Structure 1
Amino acid sequence: MTEIPKTLRVGTAGWSIPAAQADRFPGKGSHLQRYSQRLPAVEINSSFYRPHRTSTYARWAASVPADFRFAVKVPKEITHTRRLANATEPLARFLEEVSLLGPKLGPLLIQLPPSLVFHQDLVSEFLQNLRNSFAGDLACEPRHPSWFTDAVDAMLSEHRVARVAADPAPVPRAAEPGGWPALTYFRLHGSPRMYYSPYPQAYLERLRHQLSSLNGEVWCIFDNTAEGAATHDALVVAA
């Protein structure tokens, strides 16, 4: 079997443990503590909907092993309500909150609304402001077709931002990673029914082989969590 690179981080969106998979997460403690003994990473999606206290992030960081990493989704106030404009204040607040994850902070995920058309000046200004305050990894999941061009990928790369490879893909190019090549970030939402459908075993094996061929920091997050499929799929790929 192809060896998985040490930089590969496979996980799910959130760390709930479905009852059907509970026996694969033995031990005592919180769901996060048990989850972190089997999978090396998780994506915090709740930050998209509401802020968390700095003490909450600090508690989460203290409860997982040293090599565990959290990706954190940027709040919808920034991406969907303000649509990247005039976001200095909520962005500063968010960065202060997540800083309490310390060295266990992985990429920040910028998921954009499907209606957000690419505008060079707007996006460049937002990313430059973000980069002025944050030197860590960034991944962007655009969903409007205007984002999937060579020029946009080049601009993202200049700001050291990886473009997410998504399934289902809104356009064919969205299925492949782009932007900054030192970080590769897959988000698998489930298909044909988003958030519900499990992935077939053959798909997971092909994905595992694909991930093993990549260099740099590689993330693969399963978001088909509605009926617990994400946990099973992540365990298969991380095995």
Structure 2
Amino acid sequence: MPWPEELSALAARLPERLHLGTSSWSFPGWNGLVWDGEYTESMLARRGLATYAQHPLMRTVSLDRAFYQPLTVAQYAAYAEQVPADFRFVVKAPALVADALVRREDGQGMRANDAFLDPGLAWSAFVEPALQGLGTKAGALVFQLSPLPPALLARMPQCIARLGAMLAALPPLAQLHAQAPDLVIAVEVRNAEWLVAAFAEALRAGGATYCLGGHAKLPPISEQLPVLRALWPGPLVCRWNLHRAHGAYGYEEAKALYLPFDKLVDPDLETRAALARVARATTAAGHHAYLTIGNKAEGSAPLTVAAMARLLAD
């Protein structure tokens, strides 16, 4: 579709190392924002990425589907073929290694996952195929650790040590940069108990960074920054998924309120400002900043991306 000149001019004013985008792209309600017609969700899932990647402000996207099933090299390569050379992907690690529980389809935990943070699977089921398929278009590979069961929350030092061992077993980041120069390995959490000094130390030792989590299960972004500061200087990765007003389990409430995701319903100026400050400092220091936004953050991910872009360009 023909993009408004205002968007192209805005994109030209953004830092080169800033990668703004959304969490997935297959939303029919974005007609007029990203699409130029009425399309089904399945049609957009199959063929919408190429159009999405032509949008002047969309320089990344979060491949959330990778969490539910490990993707193959061929699947990653098919995505990479649809986007321009300067586009970078944010990819979630499969639950196979990122969830401490094996869950039913409704999300209810059934039993302990013996493969949780398994170093071999972290490489073979995630990092290696993503690198081979995406190549230079690999941006941030994110281990989003699902909420821990009470038994593990009571043993956080052991969990942190297990995470550190997995990260240390991956090839050094400098070696991975031979395939993907802009690659970042990041860890996102869903329990505030992770956010301690030992966690930051494990990330640093493993060559990883902390992924700021825009989610009501965690403290506000401003209160997560001490972990990121402990790793400074370095890149920024943030996945802003859910407005805090809906609470820790408010996805369905937010979805019902915000559908069809074509307008801003709950602008969160505090979170925008906090992220803009960190993104400015990160890119000014010569590091990449990856920020992906979900529809349930404010009501419409493309409109939040545009609002963030204006904030960062000013």
Distance in 2 (alpha carbons) for counterparts of 1:233 and 1:23: 15
Q: Secondary structure at 2:282's aligned position in 1?
A: coil
TM-score using structure 1 length: 0.84
CA 1:228–1:16: 2 relative to 1, 3 Å? farther
Which residue identity is paired with 2:137? Answer: K
Residue 218 (structure 1) aligned with residue 289 (structure 2): yes
Instruction: Give the 5 Å matches for 1:108-147.
Output: 108-115=141-148, 116-117=152-153, 118=156, 119=158, 120-131=160-171, 135=176, 136-147=183-194
Which of structures 1 and 2 has the bigger CA Rg? 2
The secondary structure found in structure 1 opposite 2:289 is strand
Give CA deviations for 1:190-237 in whole Å, capped at 9, x if unaligned: 211244365416347525642323332111111235996222212322
Which 5+ residue runs of structure 1 have no aligned equivalent?
Answer: none
SS in 2 for 1:154: helix
Q: Which one of 150, 154, 157 corresponds to residue 201 of structure 2?
A: 154
Greater per-residue helix proportion: 2
In the alignment, structure 1 residue 36 sits paired with structure 2 residue 53: yes
Percentage of identical aligned residues: 24
Give the structure-2-normalised TM-score: 0.65
Backbone CA RMSD of aligned residues: 3.0
- Structure 2: gaps of 5 or more residues: 1-9, 38-43, 100-112, 177-182, 259-264
1:48-197 → structure 2 map (5 Å cutoff): 48-80=67-99, 81-82=113-114, 84-89=116-121, 91-98=123-130, 99-115=132-148, 116-117=152-153, 118=156, 119=158, 120-131=160-171, 135=176, 136-167=183-214, 168=216, 170-171=218-219, 175-176=224-225, 178=228, 180-181=231-232, 182-191=234-243, 192-193=245-246, 194-195=250-251, 196=254
Q: Which stretch shifts more, 37-46 or 220-229?
A: 220-229
Distance 1:94 1:66, change over 3 A: same
Measure the CA separation in 1 of the matches of 2:194 and 2:298.
31
